[in-house]
A and B are shown apart, each in its own frame.
Chain A
Amino acid sequence: MTGVPFHQPRPVMAPGPLVALLAPLLPLGGVAGHSVGFVDSPVALAGLALLVGALLLRRLAVGALSEAAILLIGVAAGYGATLRLLADGVVPEAGAWLLLLGATLLLGRVLRLLAEVSGPARHACPALFGLAILLLWEILTRGLQIPAILLPPPSAIAAAFATNAADLWDDFRQTVLISVLRGYLLGCGAGFAVAILADRVPFLARGLLPLGNLASAIPVVGIAPIMVMWFGFDWQSKAAVIVVMTFFPMLINTLAGLASAERIQLDLMRSYAAGYWRSLLLLRLPCALPFLFNGLKINSTLALIGAIVAEFFGTPVVGMGFRISTQVARMNLDVVWASITVAALTGSLLYGALALAERRVTAWHPSFRKR
């Protein structure tokens, strides 16, 4: 899969990345008011030379993977030279931006090559994509001198992360390990239990489902202050907000899952004179598993949002929502971004873990199974 067969002509490459060749004709940038030319900067020249060299050397490659590796050297040279210039205090101008543009266009080719690769290397494409976004973010915010209040560069966020590690850990413990976990388990558990009850008592389902639509429209900023008044500043109010947000998604998904067993599968249970609980355990719950996981995954993100928003309305002096609201007020946006990063990572890890568990538990489901 990785190699382009020899007898096939190598796809001709449009000369996009070669725009970088125009860079030497333009001013590179300024240092302390003085303009620096492209040819004056060994770093810029080396970067350009490596980029063009990689373009020429790609003919030596024997497969998509090695071609991508060669081109990647050019990309790294372009990005590296720009970063080096920034570190040297150069304010980039047209020449430097053209070099960056050339490197980015080259990266586009690398990603296209890697998108078709199978095996462990297939993870390279999304990883490189993410890394490139981070680098571009860094270069653009610093090169265009964007105020840190608007958007700090990733390096500043990482630095804030390191200096505030202890605080961020305490926030994580308070928000995720205490509030979210308890609220999530309570909300999902209650939704599941009431769904089982409603399955036995049909009027409950009929009465609750319209309420569910209503509840899903409740704005979290509306109920959060109320819950803080009811349950106080500590985790209980956050858990209450999470329960309100997660209860109905779980209820609705469980009910849909329980109704998803096919008639002939139910007839089989009936023919064995299996009772309610037995057919629930042996047939209807396994059928409902994909739906249950759907509810759990939706709720994992809802719970985190709920806890953070609720902390805006009152909390002991710790917690991710507390940190964000106080640091915004003090203009410490890098700490805010560090908190956001923790929240985003937590959310994706939670979701990813659930998706992985789903894949293991419902491997039989048509959407996962392999022959």
Chain B
Amino acid sequence: MPAAPSPSLPPSLPPSLTAVPPPAPFAEPGRTIVDVRNLTLTYQAADHPVYALSDVSLSIAQGDFISLIGPSGCGKTTLMRVIADLEQPTSGTVLVNGMTPEQARLKRAYGYVFQAPALYPWRTVERNVTLPLEIMGTPRAERQTRAREQLERVGLAGFERKFPWQLSGGMQQRVSIARALAFNPDLLLMDEPFGALDEITRDHLNLQLTQLWRRTRKTCVFVTHSIAEAVFLSTRIVVMSPRPGRILDVIDCARELPPERTLDIRESPEFQRIAHRVREGLMEGHSYDD
């Protein structure tokens, strides 16, 4: 077992990161990265159609951190899969970097953290993390350095030679996060990446993620069931409701919360106010069910 991860900065990150980050050179805030218009997706199940998404429109700008929150089965995963070109919409248009999702996928525009770890059991932890690098033709030495760096970031230094089935569920999920970060995609799609983790590890990784995001200004789409996590990480929170899956509310957090965030911020009245609004939205979605 690794030492209990502390919510403080790991030694791998320079102390300058706690100050205001220098603007990343490639960042052009405002450029639309993901543009979803009137998206509808109906699964043709055996007996009856499932309306997974209905008339969903959402625009995600460069550098946004978007959280999708909503009851189980409201289509969060489906929306992410459409953006990733793993699912075809029934109607509506989706553009990723101004291209169709397929073109964007072929250009390896995004890294996807699936809801399950999806590790390959015949590869060691390290070789799981280097898998995308291998496919993208990164030289061997660099693959290893990057894998070690990312494994350390998620608190798994020392587990490189283990096999996935020798790790706990939460550790496996952290390996899959390291794998998505390893090839440094500009767009990160993360489906409940911290769902299987304990509170303290989760806090630690939330902090790591927000620092990574602030440093690199990657565009992130993040699914979670935790209101606090959503408010803590996001620039905007998208509240969804099921049957059919649609967007109920989009809450802007960037205006009230500062971009650099520490765990203390969760005590602030602004934080509480936003969390309250998210909760209202979720309850509205639930009452729709009855």
A-side residues, CB < 8 A to B, are 262, 264-265, 267-268, 270-274, 278, 282-283, 286, 289, 362, 364-366, 369, 371
Contacts and interface: CB of A to CB of B under 8 A. Distances in A.
Interface in B143-200: 163, 165-166
A264 B114 contact: yes
The 4 A-B residue pairs with the shortest CB-CB distance in the complex, in nearest-first order:
A364-B122, A264-B118, A364-B121, A271-B112
B165 A369 contact: yes
A272 B108 contact: yes
B1 interface: no
Contacts of B134: 282
A371 B166 contact: yes
B167 to A, nearest CB: 10
B86 interface: yes
B86 A265 contact: no
Interface in B78-125: 84-86, 105-108, 110-112, 114, 116, 118, 120-122
B239 interface: no
B187 to A, nearest CB: 11
B136 interface: yes
Given A272-B136, A282-B134, A267 B120 contact: no
B122 A274 contact: no
A282 B118 CA distance: 14
B118 A272 contact: no
Contacts of A282: 120, 131, 134-135
Interface size on B, as a range, is 20 to 34
Nearest to B104: A273
Given A264-B116, A272-B136, A286 B122 contact: yes
B7 interface: no
Contacts, number: 53
Contacts of B132: 272
Given A282-B131, A282-B134, A369-B163, A271 B84 contact: yes
Given A264-B118, A270-B105, A271-B84, 5 more contacts: A264-B114, A267-B112, A268-B114, A273-B107, A282-B131
Nearest to B131: A282
B127 to A, nearest CB: 10
A267 B136 contact: no
Contacts of B84: 271
A364 B124 CA distance: 10
**Residue of B112, B114, B120, B134 ringed by the most chain A CB atoms within 10 A:** B120
16 contacts: A262-B118, A264-B118, A265-B118, A267-B118, A268-B112, A268-B118, A271-B112, A272-B108, A272-B136, A273-B105, A282-B134, A286-B122, A364-B121, A364-B122, A364-B165, A369-B165
A338 B1 CA distance: 58
B114 A267 contact: yes
Contacts of A265: 118, 120
A139 to B, nearest CB: 50
B118 to A, nearest CB: 4
B152 to A, nearest CB: 22
A270 B131 CA distance: 13
Nearest to B164: A364
Contact of B135 (A264, A267, A278, A365): A278
A364 B163 contact: yes
Contacts of A286: 120, 122
Contacts of A267: 86, 112, 114, 118
A273 B163 contact: no
A365 B163 CA distance: 11
Nearest to A370: B166
B240 to A, nearest CB: 22
A193 to B, nearest CB: 23
Nearest to A275: B135
B278 to A, nearest CB: 29
Contacts of B121: 364-365, 369
Contacts of B166: 371
A146 to B, nearest CB: 53
